[in-house]
């Protein structure tokens, strides 16, 4: 994985010193809250429901064991013993003290981490396919391109005061495992028949209060021009994006209002102009970065066929592993949606300090010192020998990390909701837990079903992209939950539609049960929930849900 | 009645105006009539950040939280802690806390 050079480290260290000084001035009264607030937000420090919340950037979700151990130490030393992995492949701490925040940033900097640009109207953490560098179906490893974009977007002087926040995802396969078309810019690295690499650009996607699927802007940008093309998009957005209304300030509104064709024409004109300025980073820089992502020394003799005598192991392997480009390996997902032996569900995305250390140990022992955070709030060990899976399962099971439910109805994405978030209108976590506990006995029969819950219209829980989505709203001071059906974040991207009137806490759980029961009674061979929904349509499911 | 809440500047802890200072427990909150001036003075003194006035009732319900009850669920969650982590609330030993919030 990428290693900081002296410039990277100097930039991060300087930011720690700067924020330490700013915090001291705030505490001594030299800075007012109005002056300090934008400064702390630039360093990922929010004031949330119970305390300060620190959002730490995890570029394209990639971590090594040393970084994981520091994340665990921070949870223990400065927080309340746990962290929350987010849908942007980051981690958040919910109980931070302002006076200690500079020390946390200093600890992070020692392992090449920071919280820069995890808030504010700037280019946020670049996300990517969590199977990058491992998946059998990718045309190349997308991480060098994500890393080049990270370096280009970090402290980019033109793009630190955009109309609104800006999110970019990079993938390199036909399958989309990063919700690419629901980003401000989505990039798919593609390869022409002759072997030439390029970037397929989508722009203007997003969730939030106005969900939109990004249209294709350009099917092929030569790879030695892809940063220039991204710059062209950002420039057009920065120039024409609305600043008069924050709810209409995202690039998706600009694309929608201009129309994809006019928007594309504006991008192409800016791209032509930028090409005359020769701003693309030199090929040598991309090569330098790519060298950091060289494949690890895989065991060429690792057996491709491994039998698992223990049924618990076999079940976990079937559910939680993904094919690897090397036949003797898989990518293994550690579910952070635990269900204990009594059927009690944990909190989606949360991991204790002890669990994070176990993940670190497993990454080091079984996966060439690498782990990935997924946008579905799980952790992937990208390169695990099949023969090591029983030992990995045993280590995870001892830490309550071996729940076999990847992409099942119990593998629920949920935002922190009203239990933690000052923007939320309703709680998300207890709804996720109630649904997981009720549906667990039927989960195997139901198969793949992506259920996503947001506690407000900002959609951090990706409810628009759920096969089943749930949106919590405030109805005269009472929590109410809308049921949505038919969304997808995958290559067949679609936006879920609201079924009808909302439900209370108990009612939404029953509604999910009724929708899935309808699927089970109506499905045809090989159909997932989403396929049956698409075949039958909303009316059929609506009748099943509302009677 | 109106009461004041905010966060302690240094620690971020949720606090409630008790008439003379800021308390951790909502049941110690005092009714306020001139919220705006009080907020301005307390924020200027750096004792609190993000302070605001909320509606509350005096007639709370069961358990050790009887007394002051914020009108909105968001402030009741702030008063107690996350409903999904009773071990992290201010009343981890009180089985009625969840009922008080919801």
Q: Which of A43-47, A205-209, A304-308, B57-61 has the lowest mean pLDDT?
A: B57-61
Q: Nearest Cβ partner of A50 from B9, B14, B84?
A: B14
A118-161, pLDDT tens digit by residue? 999 999 999 999 999 999 999 999 999 999 999 999 999 999 99
B37 and A CB contact within 8 Å: no
**Which pLDDT score, from 0 to 100, does residue B94 have?**
76
- Write the CATH number for A97: 3.90.480.20
Query: In degrees rounded to 5, what are phi and psi of residue B38?
Result: -65, -45
Whether A165 and A271 share a structural domain: yes
**pLDDT band for position B65 (50/70/90)?**
low
Whether A61 and A200 share a structural domain: no
B40 and A CB contact within 8 Å: no
B87 and A CB contact within 8 Å: no
Q: How far apart (Å, rounded) are the C-alpha atoms in residues A506 and A466?
A: 20
% of chain A residues with pLDDT over 90 = 99
Whether A145 and A100 share a structural domain: no
Transcribe B61-99 into DSSP letters. Answer: -SGGG-S-EESSHHHHHHHH--TT-GGGSS-TT-TTHHH
How big is the CA angle at A346 (ends A342 and A347), to the nearest 5 degrees?
165
How many domains in chain A?
A: 4
Q: How far apart (Å, rounded) are the C-alpha atoms in residues A134 and A371?
A: 12
Among candidate residues A109, A125, A153, the one where a domain is terminated: A109
B33 and A CB contact within 8 Å: no
Which residues of chain B make contact with A420, given a CB cutoff of 8 A?
82
Among candidate residues A109, A126, A149, the one where a domain is terminated: A109
A358-391, pLDDT tens digit by residue? 999 999 999 999 999 999 999 999 999 999 999 9
**Which pLDDT score, from 0 to 100, does residue B92 have?**
79
Top residue of B10, B84, B89 to mutate, by most chain A CBs within 10 Å, is B84
Whether A511 and A433 share a structural domain: yes
Whether A162 and A281 share a structural domain: yes
- Give the structural domain span for A95: 6-109
Q: How far apart (Å, rounded) are the C-alpha atoms in residues A52 and A30?
A: 20
A33-61, pLDDT tens digit by residue? 999 999 999 999 999 999 999 999 999 99
The pTM assigned to this predicted structure is 0.96
**pLDDT band for position B98 (50/70/90)?**
confident
A386-428, pLDDT tens digit by residue? 999 999 999 999 999 999 999 999 999 999 999 999 999 999 9
Query: Are residues A279 and A230 in contact, defined by beta-carbon separation less than 8 angstroms?
Result: no
Is the predicted pLDDT of residue B79 greater than 60, yes or no? yes
How big is the CA angle at A141 (ends A217 and A157), to the nearest 5 degrees?
60
Query: In degrees rounded to 5, what are phi and psi of residue A183?
Result: -115, 165
Q: Is B19 helix (H, G, I), strand (E, B) or coil?
A: coil
Residue B77 to residue A97, Cβ atoms within 8 A:
no
**Which pLDDT score, from 0 to 100, does residue B90 have?**
83
Whether A224 and A281 share a structural domain: yes
Count of alpha carbons within 13 Å of A509, Cβ hemisphere only? 16
Q: In terms of CA atoms, which chain B residue is nearest residue A432?
A: B84
Average the pLDDT over B12-35 and give the result: 95
Whether A287 and A319 share a structural domain: no
A479 and B CB contact within 8 Å: yes
Residue A418 to residue B74, Cβ atoms within 8 A:
yes
pLDDT, chain A, mean: 97
CA A538 to centroid of chain Cα atoms? 28
Among candidate residues A371, A397, A423, the one where a domain is terminated: A397
CA distances to A6, A149, A232, A402 from A284, rounded to whole Å, are: 17, 15, 22, 42
Which structure tokens are listed for A462?
């990706």
A294-324, pLDDT tens digit by residue? 999 999 999 999 999 999 999 999 999 999 9
**Which pLDDT score, from 0 to 100, does residue B100 have?**
77
Among residues A107, A115, A94, A91, the alpha carbon closest in space to that of A41 is found at A115
User: Do the domain assignments include residue A128?
Assistant: no
**Which pLDDT score, from 0 to 100, does residue B63 have?**
47
B88 and A CB contact within 8 Å: yes
**pLDDT band for position A279 (50/70/90)?**
very high
Is the predicted pLDDT of residue B62 greater than 50, yes or no? no
Q: How far apart (Å, rounded) are the C-alpha atoms in residues A349 and A346?
A: 9
Q: Nearest Cβ partner of A477 from B72, B81, B85?
A: B72
Q: In terms of CA atoms, which chain B residue is nearest residue A426?
A: B74
Among residues A126, A140, A99, A67, the alpha carbon closest in space to that of A363 is found at A67
**pLDDT band for position A439 (50/70/90)?**
very high
How many CB atoms sit inside 10 A of residue A103's CB? Answer: 16
**Which pLDDT score, from 0 to 100, does residue A178 have?**
97
Which residues of chain B make contact with A345, given a CB cutoff of 8 A?
none
List residues bridging with A84 in a β-sheet. Answer: A92, A350
Which residues of chain B make contact with A424, given a CB cutoff of 8 A?
74
């Amino acid at each position: 994985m990428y290693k900081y050079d002296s410039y990277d480290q100097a930039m991060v260290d300087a930011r720690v010193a700067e924020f330490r000084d700013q915090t001291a001035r705030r505490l001594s009264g030299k800075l007012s809250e109005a002056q300090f607030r934008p400064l702390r937000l630039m360093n990922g420090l929010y004031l949330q429901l119970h305390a300060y919340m620190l959002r730490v950037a995890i570029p394209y979700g990639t971590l090594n064991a040393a970084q994981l151990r520091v994340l665990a130490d921070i949870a223990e030393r400065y927080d309340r013993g746990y962290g929350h992995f987010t849908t942007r492949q980051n981690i958040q701490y919910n109980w931070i003290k302002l006076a200690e925040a500079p020390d946390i940033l200093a600890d992070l900097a020692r392992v090449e981490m920071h919280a820069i640009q995890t808030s504010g109207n700037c280019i946020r953490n670049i996300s990517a396919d969590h199977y990058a560098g491992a998946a059998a179906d990718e045309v190349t490893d997308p991480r060098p391109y994500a890393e080049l974009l990270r370096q280009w977007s970090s402290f980019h002087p033109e793009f630190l005061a955009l109309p609104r926040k800006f999110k970019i995802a990079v993938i390199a396969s036909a399958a989309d495992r990063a919700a690419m078309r629901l980003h401000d810019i989505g990039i798919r690295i593609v390869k022409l028949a002759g072997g030439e690499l390029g970037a397929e650009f989508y722009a203007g996607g997003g969730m939030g209060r106005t969900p939109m699927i990004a249209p294709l802007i350009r099917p092929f940008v030569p790879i030695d021009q892809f940063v220039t093309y991204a710059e062209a998009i950002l420039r057009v957005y920065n120039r024409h994006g609305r600043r008069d209304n924050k709810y209409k300030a995202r690039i998706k509104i600009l694309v929608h209002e201009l129309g994809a064709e006019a928007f594309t024409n504006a991008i192409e004109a800016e791209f032509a102009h930028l090409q005359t300025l020769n701003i693309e980073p030199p090929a040598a820089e991309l090569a330098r970065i790519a060298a950091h992502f060289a494949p690890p020394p895989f065991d060429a003799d690792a057996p491709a066929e491994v039998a698992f005598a223990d049924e618990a192991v076999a079940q976990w392997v079937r559910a939680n592993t993904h094919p690897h480009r090397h036949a003797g390996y898989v990518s293994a997902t550690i579910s952070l949606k635990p269900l204990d032996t009594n059927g009690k569900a944990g909190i989606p995305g949360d991991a204790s300090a002890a669990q994070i250390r176990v993940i670190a140990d497993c990454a080091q022992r079984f996966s060439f010192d690498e782990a990935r955070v997924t946008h579905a709030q799980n952790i992937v060990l990208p390169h695990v020998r099949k023969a090591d899976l029983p030992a990995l399962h045993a280590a995870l099971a001892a830490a309550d990390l071996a729940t076999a439910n990847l992409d099942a109805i119990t593998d629920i994405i949920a935002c922190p909701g009203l239990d933690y978030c000052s923007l939320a209108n309703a709680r998300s976590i207890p709804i996720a837990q109630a649904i997981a506990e009720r549906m667990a006995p039927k989960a195997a029969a139901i198969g793949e079903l992506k259920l996503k819950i947001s506690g407000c219209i900002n959609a951090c829980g990706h409810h628009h992209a759920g096969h089943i989505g749930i949106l919590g709203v405030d109805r005269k001071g009472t929590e109410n939950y809308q049921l949505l059906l038919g969304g997808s974040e995958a290559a067949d991207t679609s936006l879920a539609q609201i079924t009808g009137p909302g439900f209370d806490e108990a009612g939404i759980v029953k509604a999910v049960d009724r929708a899935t029961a309808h699927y089970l009674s109506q499905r045809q061979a090989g159909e997932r929930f989403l396929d049956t929904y698409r075949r039958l349509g909303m009316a059929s499911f609506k009748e099943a849900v509302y009677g | 009645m109106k009461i004041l809440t905010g966060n302690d500047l240094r620690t971020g802890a949720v606090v409630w105006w008790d008439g003379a200072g800021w308390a951790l427990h909502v049941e110690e909150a005092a009714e306020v009539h001139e919220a705006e001036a009080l907020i301005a003075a307390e924020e200027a003194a750096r004792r609190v950040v993000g302070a605001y006035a909320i509606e509350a009732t005096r007639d709370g319900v069961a358990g050790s939280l009887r007394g002051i009850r914020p009108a909105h669920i968001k402030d009741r969650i702030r008063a107690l802690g996350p409903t999904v982590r009773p071990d992290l609330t201010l009343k981890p030993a009180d089985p009625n806390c969840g009922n008080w919030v919801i």
